[in-house]
Chain A
Amino acid sequence: MQQLLNQLIQEGYFHGAPMELVYAGFMLLAAFVVLSFFVAPLAGITSWLERRVWARIQSRVGPNRVGPQGILQWLADGIKNLLKEDIIPTAADRRLFALAPYVVFAGFFATFVVIPFGSQLIVADLNIGILYLLAITSLVVVGILMAGWSSNNKWSLLGGMRSAAQIVSYEIPAGLSLLTIVFAAGTMSMQGIITAQGWAPWNWFLFYNPFTFVAFFLYFTAALAEGNRTPFDIPEAESELVAGYVTEYSGMRFLFFFFAEWGNLYVIGAIATTLFLGGWQIPPVTDHPILAGVLQFIVFFLKAYLWVFVAMWVRGTLPRVRVDQLMSLCWKYMVPLAFICLLGTAAWMVIWPQGNRLASFFMFLIGLGILGLFLKRVSFQIRHARPVLYLKPYI
């Protein structure tokens, strides 16, 4: 991206304009394009897909009216919410109340800067990419706390407090398991981490050693908790806190919270893919740069979306944990385990500085075995599921 801009400047397209303004304008343009052509449809389609997947799990139909299979439902919902009245309670702190959704949204949207969709498709390959990620996602908790406090509603306040406690706690296991990979890769740059892996599964950091294998699941669980997803959706637990911190919101502001939530699902998957699953790495099948770029994008997208699907699946299956159980899970089990993973990986690197190929392959086989057992269980459940009973109409 930057090369393209530099080239344009050298060719004299922006003659006379201050360089900083050109860069800033270009960044804004890029952000707008990414937002409207990628992030918004992505979050929207994720919301549609989630409702459809849910519906399938619950033997319902789900939204299927707007567009083929209802795929444009998100557009209809978005337009509807845009046109709705934006209610701000009289007792609310107006400024904070109005600002909170955008803070949450900014915290989510800024992560797209460092997500590598291909070897060239990245907005900015920061050398501290992971640090940036951890820092910028913390903005979400500020926004949620603002929303909870400024609504001047006790349920909102409880939801905001729960959320703050939850996100701050779960950032520790998530950060530690990311750090494990930083150890293994020796860099904090997202592209650097991907290039340190290979296209083959046994070259992924997931199978680097047993500790990274565990770290992956730690990260995924912690990320679900950070994203307020079931089974950790206690900040907006609708049966307990009405709607948690979004209770008083309506219209577009309400939508922004959910925009961020659904978009965040994809971000979780993308980070997991980058760090553990080899990112956009594809087998060397083509030398054509554009074709390779497209393939890389597809591979990355699918890997990331797989985890989005898993999160939906989990949401359709599991009940919600209680707030004290959530905390004890984090502090009693996940944090110590994350530390063990970190130290274990460090020790592993002392023993085998270049990694252990045999161990990786062995881990890969174990992973396959676990997947096989899991699929067996799933197929058992599917075989034993009873279809809906249709009694013949009685005439």
Chain B
Amino acid sequence: MDETLRSEGEGLHTEDMTISMGPQHPSTHGVLRFVIKTDGEVMREAIPDVGYLHRSIEKIGEKVTWHGYVPYTDRADYLAAMFANQGFCMAAERLGGVEVTRRGEFCRVIACELNRIASHLIAVGTFAQDIGAVTPFIHALRERETVNDLMEEICGARLTYNYIRIGGVGYDITPQTCDRITQFLDHFEPIVDEFNRLLSYNKIFIERLAHVAPITKEDAFQYNIVGPNLRACGVKWDIRRDIPYSVYPELEFDIPVGTGEKGTLGDCYDRYIVRILEMQESCKIVRQCLKMLPKGPAIAKVARKFKPPAGEIYVRVEAPRGDMGFYVVSDGSEYPYRVRIRTGSFTAMSLIDKLSRGLMVADLIALIASLDVDAPEIDR
């Protein structure tokens, strides 16, 4: 009798459903594609397929001059263009032995931290959107719009800034702009509380995120997860503090880490809340910088035909999506010999395959959003 039952069970043909999620899908943040194998709602695996936005930024680096490459770095991660500027310029300066002016350094930090706020606003906004809450997204974008206005004042562009140049910054920050930035910070700090009341402590939101796809410390090291995603795993590591650059050592700020307060350490909720807390820290940093802003020139004198001596350097910058590395090789000519951009999203993306097993389709969306991957940054 058992045998007849079994044969009947075997006769019932079942198979996993293979779905192609993307490249046109509302919540793949740019042009990404996942090949998902599901058993109903539960996923067997989700294999990321990247490369749709490859613009060969690294190859372009070998074709343009040192100064001329700065605008291209903007395009590596359009949500946080300032950090790519910063990374490349730092690499060029260290290779060429250029001293950045002190005012230039402060201008850089102000611009970077404002950019970090803007980038994190997009991250948490789209996160909420992917979880199904529509209002927080618009609220976040509304604030980001103000940041963009400030950026426009500072450097004349709203998205791809080309503000940080080799030796300093392109334009000085005026006192009026400083006032306006203070005005924005006064406005923005309470907004974070409002955002928390609206979204962060919402019961449904917590239920959706807590215990979902936790990243262990070991996985984080193995897959080289960086930035807020790493800090969400409870690792207190921030390039700004641990491999200090620019004027960050002089500034006081906390490094928020995930505590697993609502679920497991390193789950989606931790990754979310770390970003919320980082926005507050960025506000603090900008306030300090505005107070300490010294007088002097904003940019050092750098030769038009910038030719750093032969050599190579690997520079790390703490971008909103984590440790952004610039490996720049010079052969002493007017053009970089090789520029390599190592981004946080790329490594985060390689972890998705492992994390996604056994999750539900809706959880995959939360996972992608919580890692804050950004398609142009993956593909470069």
Residues of A bordering B, CB below 8 Å: 54, 57-60, 154-155, 158, 161-162, 230-231, 233-234, 237-242, 315-325, 381, 384-386, 388-389, 391, 394
A239: contacting residue among B130, B191, B363, CB under 8 A? B130
15 A-B pairs whose Cβ atoms sit less than 8 Å apart in the complex: A58-B134, A60-B138, A230-B132, A239-B129, A315-B134, A316-B135, A318-B204, A319-B202, A320-B362, A321-B204, A325-B208, A385-B194, A389-B184, A389-B187, A391-B149
> Do B135 and A57 touch across chains, with their CB atoms under 8 A apart?
yes
Contact: B146 with A233, CB < 8 Å? no
- Taking a contact as CB atoms under 8 Å apart, the answer to whether A318 and B361 are in contact is no
Total number of residue pairs linking A and B with CB closer than 8 Å? 107
Q: Quick check: is B239 within 8 A (CB to CB) of the other chain?
A: no
Q: Are A391 and B180 in contact (CB under 8 A)?
A: yes
Residue B190 lies at the interface, judged by CB distance under 8 Å to chain A: yes
Task: Specify the main secondary structure of chain A where it touches its partner.
Answer: loop
B361 CB to nearest A CB, Å: 6
Contacts of A230 in B (CB 8 A): 132
Please give 8 more A-B residue pairs, beta carbons under 8 A apart, in addition to A238-B26, A240-B365.
Answer: A158-B41, A161-B40, A234-B362, A315-B134, A321-B207, A325-B208, A384-B193, A385-B194
- A241 to B, closest residue via Cβ: B361
Q: Mark B304-348, 1 if CB is under 8 A from A, else 0.
A: 000000000000000000000000000000000000000000000
| Chain A proximity of B91: nearest CB distance (Å) | 33
With the chains together, A239 CA to B132 CA distance in Å?
7
Q: How far is the CB of A156 from chain B (nearest CB, A)?
A: 11
A319-B205, A319-B208, A385-B194 known; A237+B132 contact, CB < 8 A: yes
| A144: min CB distance to chain B, Å | 17
Q: Which of B131, B139, B360 contacts A58 (CB 8 A)?
A: B139
The answer to whether A59 touches B202 (Cβ under 8 A) is: no
Chain B residues within an 8 Å CB radius of A233: 132
A385 to B153, CA, bound (A): 27
Binding site for A on B (CB under 8 A): 17, 19, 25-27, 40-41, 128-135, 138-139, 142-143, 146, 149-150, 153, 176-177, 180, 183-184, 187-188, 190-191, 193-194, 197-199, 202, 204-205, 207-208, 360-363, 365
Can you name the residue of chain B whose Cβ is closest to the Cβ of A322?
Answer: B362
Most chain A beta-carbon contacts within 10 A, residue among B132, B193, B198: B132
Contacts of B194 in A (CB 8 A): 384-386
CB-based nearest A residue for B361: A240
Query: Are A316 and B360 in contact, with the CB atoms below 8 A?
Result: no
Q: How far is the CA of A59 from the CA of B41 in the complex (A)?
A: 35
Question: Given A242-B26, A321-B204, A385-B194, does the pair A59, B138 have CB atoms closer than 8 Å?
Answer: yes
Q: Which 8 A/B pairs are nearest by Cβ-Cβ distance?
A: A320-B132, A58-B138, A319-B133, A239-B27, A319-B131, A389-B187, A239-B130, A319-B132
Which interface residue of A57, A242, A320, A325 has the most chain B CB atoms within 10 A? A320
Question: B138 to chain A: which residues have CB within 8 Å?
Answer: 58-60
Please give me the residue from chain A that is nearest to B126 by CB atom: A239
How many angstroms from the CA of A154 to the CA of B204 in the assembled complex?
A: 27
Cβ of B132 and Cβ of A155 under 8 Å apart?
Answer: no
Instruction: Compute how far the CA of A369 lies from the CA of B360 in the bound complex, rounded to whole angstroms.
Output: 41
Q: Which of B27, B180, B183, B184 contacts A240 (CB 8 A)?
A: B27
Contacting pair B362 A240 (CB below 8 A): yes
A49 to B41 alpha-carbon distance, docked (Å)? 34
B180 touches A394 (CB 8 A): yes
Given that A323-B360, A389-B146 are known contacts, is A318 also in contact with B133, CB under 8 Å in the complex?
yes
The verdict on A388 contacting B142 (CB below 8 Å), with A58-B134, A237-B132, A323-B362 known, is: yes
